[in-house]
Amino acid sequence: MYAILDLETTGGKYNEEGITEIAIYKFDGHEIVDQFISLVNPERPIQAFVVGLTGINNQMLRNAPKFYEVAKRVIEITTDCIIVAHNAQFDYRILQLEFDRLGYDYQRKSLCTVELAQELLPDQQSYSLGKLARNLGIPVTDRHRANGDALATVKLFKILLAKDTQKKIIQESVKLNPKKQLDTKLRDLIEEIPSQTGVYYMHNANGRVIYIGKSRNMKKQVNQHFTSDNQKSKRIQNEVEALSYDETGSELVALLKEHEEVKKIKPHHNRGARRAKFKAQLASFYDEQGYLNLRVEKADRTKACITTFSTIPSGLAYLGRMAEQYELSPDKIGLKDVDENSSCTDSPEVYNAKVQHFINAHTLVGKNQIIIDRGPSRDERSAILIENGSFRGLGYYNLNHQITNLDILERIITAMKDSQDARHIIQSYLRNRKVIKIIELQELNNPD
């Protein structure tokens, strides 16, 4: 659990400042679950330059509560939480200073979104909250006021959580959670996870990720782990101490995140998931008559191919289903028991154009596009970036801030490793399921 906060202060000499406004959002990694916002009477004058920056003056604070009057609420909303702030060293110091004046030893773990952004969003020209928000398409209202800046920090932190593919932030949070008794542990953990599409992470007592899974119904899938009596499930049941999850909205995004993070984090209960995702591929060749043929063959990762399949039979079955739609001749796509009357009657030029149409629709080679699908919430969409046929990464954007150019897209995208397995996941999904839309990058850069 996180307490994401922002403070406005009087300014002045070091360790003589006072709080003039405080905003705290309690955030569970997915949504805001509590909040506290208040002006505060600092009982000392506000520096003139601060008045000009924030608009908060001494007259506004005359009837505001003093810090000792809000201190109990601050303690309550931040208990068992990690303090998160933009330039956390400053905000945490000021909070401790105010509590020191009351004779209370206020101690919390803290995270700084400036430092996290420098690690997870390299090459930014500036790491100020305003510049990061503008570059990442984060809407900011009431800049330099506690509530506006705290809300912007919540949205920035969500992006940073998504980009933290090694789950270092989550693992630190898990360590703070009190441990449950074994007899109630599994039941309580199931209650924590929603029945939504996403990726879930099982942690041991040290916060280490021991298993990663994905599902269109995370609660149902986790329940199966915790009720199964096979040896793997029993080991997980004994080791797991906490659950975390990422709602994705899109099953395709969940598949890609699971694949990437299993490879990167290497949870010891995911050994089987690290194997190759496909065993067959689709190739093309010209026969002696000049016809373009298609052939499903054993996967060879050293050779270029049109697309991939889990197995040779599944590839042949798919070609068989596509034959009528694309007017493909069975004898030229490797299907057995071909009726002589079904042989190709088109000229090579006409037939090859049909085959090329099929190839263009079923390959990522040379493609530059964005695959748009559902996001974690109703007002979000997911975006998967393909550049020159390679998978570059994925991210989310708010519907109120449509992607208008490639620069914005690349900033919100969490970079992921391109591989034949990742491309297989994308191609297999697009063959069998629908996404909201696919945008060619030329359309993005030239909307007219």
pLDDT digits (tens, 9 = 90+) for 112-152: 999 999 888 888 888 999 888 888 888 778 777 999 999 99
CA distance 367 to 426: 13
Q: Is the pLDDT of residue 90 over 80?
A: yes
Backbone angles phi, psi at 188, to 5 degrees: -65, -35
Q: Is the pLDDT of residue 414 over 80?
A: yes
Distances (CA, A) of 207 to 179, 184, 224, 258, 292: 11, 19, 22, 18, 55
What's the rounded mean pLDDT across residues 337-366? Answer: 83
CA distance 410 to 305: 27
Residue with tokens 């929603």: 194
Question: Given pLDDT bands bounded at 50, 70 and 90, which one contains residue 401?
Answer: low
CA distance 53 to 142: 11
CA distance 36 to 22: 8
Q: Taken in order 334, 340, 345, 348, is the CA torsion positive or negative?
A: positive
CA distance 341 to 374: 46
Question: Is the distance from CB of 274 to CB of 268 less than 8 angstroms?
Answer: no
Q: Is the pLDDT of residue 291 over 60?
A: yes
The confidence score (pLDDT) of residue 139 equals 78
What is the widest separation between alpha-carbon atoms in the chain?
Answer: 96
The confidence score (pLDDT) of residue 182 equals 46
Q: Which range, of 339-348, 406-415, 424-433, averages the lowest pLDDT?
A: 339-348
Residue 367: partners with Cβ closer than 8 Å, 6 or more residues away = 386, 388, 389
**What H or E segment, with its residue span, contains residue 8?**
strand 2-9
CA distance 198 to 243: 13
CA distance 178 to 242: 10
What is the average pLDDT score of the chain?
87
Q: Which range, of 104-108, 341-345, 352-356, 415-419, averages the lowest pLDDT?
A: 341-345
Question: Given pLDDT bands bounded at 50, 70 and 90, which one contains residue 167?
Answer: confident
Residue with tokens 């030229």: 332
CA distance 63 to 70: 14
Q: Taken in order 191, 195, 196, 200, is the CA torsion positive or negative?
A: positive
The confidence score (pLDDT) of residue 175 equals 63
Q: Is the pLDDT of residue 263 over 80?
A: yes
More confident residue, 228 or 19: 19
Amino acid at 213: G
CA distance 174 to 210: 13
CA distance 100 to 284: 74
**For residue 247, what are its two tokens?**
């709602």
Task: For residue 307, list its beta bridge partners.
Answer: 282
Q: Which range, of 154-168, 176-190, 342-356, 413-427, averages the lowest pLDDT?
A: 176-190
The confidence score (pLDDT) of residue 176 equals 63
**For residue 158, what are its two tokens?**
């969500």
**For residue 255, what are its two tokens?**
């598949």
Q: Which range, of 167-176, 184-193, 283-292, averages the lowest pLDDT?
A: 167-176
Residue 86: other Cβ atoms inside 10 A: 27
Q: Tell me the three state secondary structure of residue 126.
A: coil
Question: Given pLDDT bands bounded at 50, 70 and 90, which one contains residue 233?
Answer: confident
> pTM value?
0.72
365, HSE (Cβ side, Cα atoms, 13 Å): 13
Q: Which range, of 4-8, 134-138, 195-199, 391-395, averages the lowest pLDDT?
A: 134-138
The confidence score (pLDDT) of residue 83 equals 93
The confidence score (pLDDT) of residue 342 equals 59
The confidence score (pLDDT) of residue 404 equals 62
Question: Given pLDDT bands bounded at 50, 70 and 90, which one contains residue 339?
Answer: low
The percentage of the chain sitting over the pLDDT mark of 90, rounded to a whole number, equals 52
Q: Tell me the three state secondary structure of residue 326.
A: helix
